[in-house]
Each structure stands twice: as C-alpha cells, then as structure tokens.
Amino acid sequence: MSSSSMFWWCWFLVSNSVGFFTSIHMIYVLTWGFPLQLELRVSMGALALTYYASMVSMTSNNVLSVIFIAIYITLPWVIPTATAVARNHLKWPRVA
C-alpha cells in the first residue's frame, strides 16, 4: 500500500499516527470518571495493538518500520505531555 514517494508515505504515517493517538487520548480524557475504566483501557489497548499490527504490515521498507516503531513508542507519552503543557500555559497570568 505504500506510495511510490517515501516522503508522502512518511507524511501519511506521521499524520495518521498523530490523529490516532490524539483520539485515543481524548477518549481517555472524556471518560475520566467512567465506572468501567479497566474495560475501557483494555479495549483502547487492543485498538492500539491492532493499529500497530496494521501499520507495520503496510510498511514495506525496513527504514519505514523503524520510523513507525519510534512514532508508536513516543506519541502515547508526547501527546498527553503536550496537552498538559499547553493547558498550564493558558493558565499563566498575562502581563499587559
């Protein structure tokens, strides 16, 4: 399925991964007080593993596989950290 251009394939891989992990994080944030937290986390973990398996199977190049694995490992920690930093930045007092 990979494109003939490596740039566009990497662009698709990064943007799709950012969108996927951002949506997983938003599901987690919006269901914070949900009584079935364990079941929800198990299902989100299954979604993430399925996403990982499908994207690795679509990468035909070893370099792309390494890039995707790096993205897959870092994004689940980067997205919550970035949203917390942005949220705290908006709470800082403004100097006129």
Whole-angstrom CA distances from 21 to 18, 61, 91 are 5, 23, 25
Mean pLDDT for 35-39 is 88
Q: What is the pTM of this model?
A: 0.72
pLDDT confidence of 19, banded at 50, 70, 90?
very high
Summarize pLDDT for 61-87 with one digit per residue, the tens.
777 778 788 888 888 888 888 888 888
Residue 2 has a pLDDT of: 54
Whole-angstrom CA distances from 66 to 13, 22, 54, 62, 80 are 12, 21, 15, 6, 23
Task: Give the SS3 label for residue 60.
Answer: coil
Identify which has the larger pLDDT, 4 or 73.
Answer: 73
